[in-house]
Amino acid sequence: MQFSELATKLGSAIAASSLDNQLNPILTGLAPIETASSGTISYIEGDKFAQCVSSTAASALILPMNQAIQSQATDRGIAWIAASEPRLLFAQVIKLFYQPFRLPPGIHPSAIVESGVEIGENVSIGAHVVIQPGVKIGNDVTIHPNVVIYPDVEIGSRTILHANCTIHERVRIGADCVVHSGAAIGSEGFGFVPTATGWFKMEQAGYTVLEDGVEIGCNSTVDRPAVGETRIGRDTKLDNLVHIGHGCQIGSNCAIAAQVGLAGGVKVGNRVLLAGQVGVANQVTIGDRAIASSKTGIHRNVEPGEIVSGYPAVSHKLWLKTAAIVNRLPEMYQFFKQSQRN
């Protein structure tokens, strides 16, 4: 694709550009800026990566709204487009070069679709998929090979289920969701009541709901509760190997990074960010727009907008202070021992 064609396709997403008949390279692909070769388009996320512009071999760049950087690119003969959010513009460029694999429409002859399954229009059901009775599938849904869907499941339009994932009974998946490979949705919550003779299993008779636009990462698990619902709100994204316990209520537009674990009945607000390997204890409530940094262990409620770190979680500011001072403990302890002796 020629640079000028790319610029035309992006249209109003571009705030400034070097568009010029003299400098109109043919672009054959995308690359990270450090390893870009001639013919590729790359990007820098912000001003602090400015020095990369002086060394990259990319033929075109996406730049921030910084005239000095833009001039530098022009001086090096690099075509560029700019926007206030270069990463967002780059994401739009990627879509012009690459579309992920889509199964062809239709039901593969090796798929097993039991009776009493409703299937919408233009649906792709891959090889060896198994769909039990009482499942409803919307339009334009893609179900990759070897997915298993238990009975009493609804799947909204345009949703994609990747290979080898499992959708258990009593699950409601909205439109435009993605469930990545190996994930288990609506699996039995961990419910055992201790008795004198051992654990008594509490059957998990509730529902699991993914609202529209939810993504669930590879091998993540979202459990079904004993009663009521486990619910993940609209446009919330989960990374790989995340565990969502039974009865959790997660708001909209959250991002939950890899290997996070939420115990049972956790309530998470909207636009919450949980970094990798965070753990949240039973019944905790986390307010809107709260942030937990990686490996935080949350045992108490988190206020809206609060940023927490550490184990047990404290405010991120306090944690930064104490984490620094912990390393002075050997000195402090020596002083303490001496003072005691005196």
**CA-CA distance, 314 to 291, in Å (whole number)?**
12
Does residue 88 bind its own copies (CB under 8 A)? yes
User: What residues between 189 and 228 interact with its own copies by CB under 8 A?
Assistant: 190-193, 195, 198-206, 213, 217-219, 221, 223, 225-228
Does residue 300 bind its own copies (CB under 8 A)? no
User: What residues between 271 and 290 interact with its own copies by CB under 8 A?
Assistant: 276-277, 279, 281
Complex with its own copies: residue 210 or 257, whichever CB lies closer: 257
For its own copies, which residue of 10, 56, 63, 126 counts as binding (CB under 8 A)? 126
Does residue 15 bind its own copies (CB under 8 A)? no
Smallest separation, CB 173 to its own copies (Å):
16
Smallest separation, CB 121 to its own copies (Å):
23
Does residue 122 bind its own copies (CB under 8 A)? no
What mask, x for binding its own copies by CB under 8 A, covers residues 67 to 86? ------------------x-
For its own copies, which residue of 66, 294, 303, 316 counts as binding (CB under 8 A)? 294
Q: How many CA atoms lie within 13 A of 21 on its CB side?
A: 0
Residues designated catalytic: 246
Does residue 99 bind its own copies (CB under 8 A)? yes
For its own copies, which residue of 119, 297, 306, 316 counts as binding (CB under 8 A)? 297
User: What residues between 136 and 195 interact with its own copies by CB under 8 A?
Assistant: 144-146, 148, 150-152, 162-166, 168-169, 180-182, 184, 187-188, 190-193, 195
